[in-house]
Structure 1
């Protein structure tokens, strides 16, 4: 009796064959020029995206906005849930449509414009409210936040699919490195110049913050149309919603190596639950917090430190990924992330001297987007090119599952404090790190 499970060796042979299913009539020299052009365009796309993103950093700016509106731990806990729902369910439901698109770059532009519209809408809301908090603004904020991450989820699916289509596996680490380092330099310069002015004590200008973010996302979206992309000709039977989720489950059942990758992602996903709470823990530990709870001026430096951390870890992760594969990168980054919650607890003990070192927490949180990108890149190597959208959608669903518990985690923090939740999630990240030792490295089986 033949087993339905995929053996690594035969699986990669099938993947190599599947990736040749879309013919390429270009000469080698023309293909090389297209790869260089697309590499440059995708770097510019990510730099602009990163510049806008620093003004809405998920671990600092967005939860601080909700706190400014009078939000509780329960409401802060809704942010990771909405974030991960948008980045998992819509991409999975639309993965077939993305696969069947002959040109994916139009979807990249469309999704980017949706993201831009959401933040331009928030800017308009704050302008209409004249910068004063009102009860209805929390609801409006969460609705727009949810819509934004639905667009973001599909945008990231399309970007990863285009990356798998246009950039060779051995250059994807270099792409991640270039985009993260250049993006960090530009984003930090903008934050130091502009965000510092818009987060002054007693003068918080969210209208300008959200508006600038929307402009950056608009410019990033427009770069998508500059990609040199050949048309795809794929076909796939229509599936209902039950069939789509059944297909995702089937991937997990039949592909043992991808299943291990998905388990690493799911365990790592618990760390996302802590993202909105780091900034409040740090602000509460600051001397005089009770009388200055709406002073957000300290956030600018924290945002800069976190983005600098992302850039520094990219300098390590990019070359490691290209030379040794993505498995080693995951082991290094997850080990660093495990110490972030513990460090946050140690540096928030009410000692003013220790509080000066609290930005170190955001340096340790810096690798979080790199871990997600590395998981995506590993998935691209584990799956045939025609199935990239479906595999990436399944990965995001596994990564996002724990975020459903995020409101509960926020409520428990309100009731019992930070310590138990932070220590518990550090332990779960440790389990994710240990699970990487069960992963197979695709580079050992497939040199392409």
Structure 2
């Protein structure tokens, strides 16, 4: 008995050391990526870069399409293959390298093409932006799968607090030191912005090698069942994609799996509706800085203030959201975050009614609720992880929710045209109503954490 107890204690200590190492590695990876991300902030820097080449609402409307399209379709295609990989950290290395490569190419080609062929530069920018979006979508899928595999649901909020809070602080410091001076001269500054982004993503690519990741068969022994999951879906908890011949047959089988999962999991269908309505806030983000520039007379130097405000908002909000998700679950937190996000277009609409000089000075306020976007997307991912009936289903659930966020983005170019034709304010008011409705509907989602508590109570009562 003593030998058995000693062996059990040794295994527990080894498991604890593994957990600490993996959580720390995940936090370090996300901190480095977050610092790199501030130099390519989707809501501010990227639209301004495109506008520096060609100022068009239609072109700005293409950014969200390529962004969310890249972050949804490739992950949906890749999810079955990722589920079959017993070790996933090397996939994270590959996607990080791909993200770095996109910005490295842009850094090298920007200056020559900006002077001679701005039309080709615009096309190259959109192409690389789309490739980066695909690499980032795959990256987020792998990160979510590793998080679901290596980080307990009760510790994911803490991990988010550490990575987002520390990452935001470091990102703001880097922005103040470098981003401000580089924005003063876009011709020489933009290549530097792309270059440092490539370097930081390249550094992040080294970190996943330090994960102590067991093969899937060592960890995926328990089925995490939810009260809203049907018996038929639960029986597929050990789902492993079949070997398929040819791309078409593989795609057809994957689509059938997604359809079956959606049909049998009511909770997943509900969160997909909420995710689709939340996507309105992401479709509108390229047009905020255009409104400030065209109507309120702001300059490129204002971008630094907005970037700092948005990242500070993200860091501060994470200090509240992280502990709340660990203690209360993800459902209510997700609902309030979506409602909070609806204030972004509303504030932009209100500020546009003020005298332009005052509105331009106060426009940074718009980026306070916009700072909730990264956290909200993380909570959508965490909710999908908890909703999945087993660890092997994590990639599929995360990719389906991601696709729900991306699907409405086919309307983004139309929204860009309507912004030019109808005006900013009408589109922002409509976006506010859609996003707020999604937040209200989110309160009707099932809370997966309740089932976890029920299982714990049942286990305790049997002892």
The normalised TM-score by structure 1 is: 0.90
Q: Residue 452 of structure 2 aligns to a residue in which SS?
A: coil
Q: Deviations over 1:296-332 (max 9, x none)?
A: 1111111111111111111111011000011121122
Q: Which residue of 1 aligns with 2:270?
A: 260
* CA displacement 1:370-400 (0-9 Å, x = unmatched): 1111011011111111110111111111111
Corresponding residue for residue 370 of structure 1: 375
Aligned counterparts of 1:225 and 1:201: Cα–Cα separation in 2: 38
Deviations along 1:76-114, one digit per CA (max 9) or x if unpaired, are: 000000001111010110111111112100000000000
State the Cα distance separating 1:242 from its structure 2 match.
2.1
Out of 89, 93, 113, the position equivalent to 2:73 is: 89
Tell me, in whole angstroms, the C-alpha distance in 2 between the residues paired with 1:389 and 1:35.
Answer: 21
- Using the TM superposition, give the Cα deviation of residue 236 of structure 1 relative to its aligned residue in structure 2, in angstroms: 2.5
Matched, 1:351 2:335: no
Give 3-state SS (helix, strand or coil) of 2:216's partner. coil
Q: 1:162–1:131: structure 2 CA closer, same or farther, 3 Å change rule?
A: farther
Aligned-partner SS, 1:205: helix
> Aligned match of 1:125 in 85, 104, 109?
109
| Contact 2:332–2:443 (Cα < 8 Å) also in 1 | no
- What is residue 18 of structure 1 aligned with on the other side? none
**Which residue is 1:143 aligned to?**
127
1:423 aligns with 2:407: no
Which runs of structure 2 are paired with 1:45-194 in the superposition (5 Å)?
45-129=29-113, 134-194=118-178
Distance 2:64 2:138 in 1: 17
Aligned residue runs from structure 1 range 289-308, under 5 A? 295-308=299-312
Measured in 2, the distance between the counterparts of 1:402 and 1:26 equals: 51
2:412 maps to 1:406: yes
Q: Which runs of 5+ in 2 are unaligned?
A: 1-7, 218-237, 245-249, 457-463
What secondary structure sits across from 1:27 in the alignment? helix
Task: Give the corresponding residue for 2:447.
Answer: 441
Q: Which residue of 2 aligns with 1:13?
A: none
Q: What CA distance in whole angstroms lies between the structure 2 residues aligned with 1:129 and 1:93?
A: 34
CA distance in 2, matches of 1:184, 1:299: 16
1:241 — aligned with what? 251
Could you tell me how far 1:354 is from its partner in structure 2? 2.9
- Count of paired positions: 419
Supply the RMSD in Å over aligned alpha carbons: 1.8
CA contact (8 A) 2:339 2:438 kept: no
Where does the alignment leave 5 or more consecutive residues of structure 1 unmatched? 1-23, 290-294
Give per-residue Cα distances to partners, 1:199-251, cap 9 Å, x unaligned.
Answer: 01676511100000000100111101110000124842135212212221221
Pick the aligned partner of 2:315 from 306, 311, 320. 311
The question of whether the paired residues in 1 share the 8 Å contact of 2:111 and 2:187 is answered with no
Which deviates more from structure 2 when the two are superposed, residues 369-378 or residues 237-246? 237-246
| Residues 226-284 of structure 1: CA deviation (Å, up to 9, x unaligned) | 10000124842135212212221221110011211111111111221101111111222
Report Cα offsets for 1:143-171 as digits up to 9, x if no partner.
Answer: 00000011000100000000000000000
Q: 2:135, 2:448 → 1: CA distance?
A: 30
- Post-superposition shift, 1:410? 0.3
**Mean CA deviation greater in 141-150 or 437-446:** 437-446
The DSSP-based 3-state class of the residue aligned with 1:347 is helix
State the match for 1:286 in structure 2: 296
Give the distance between the partners of 2:254 and 2:411, measured in 1 at CA.
23
Measured after TM superposition, the shift of residue 432 of structure 1 is 0.6
Partner of 2:228: none
- Are 1:379 and 2:363 counterparts? no
Partner of 1:5: none
Matches of 1:262 and 1:26, distance apart in 2: 43
1:270 pairs with 2:254: no
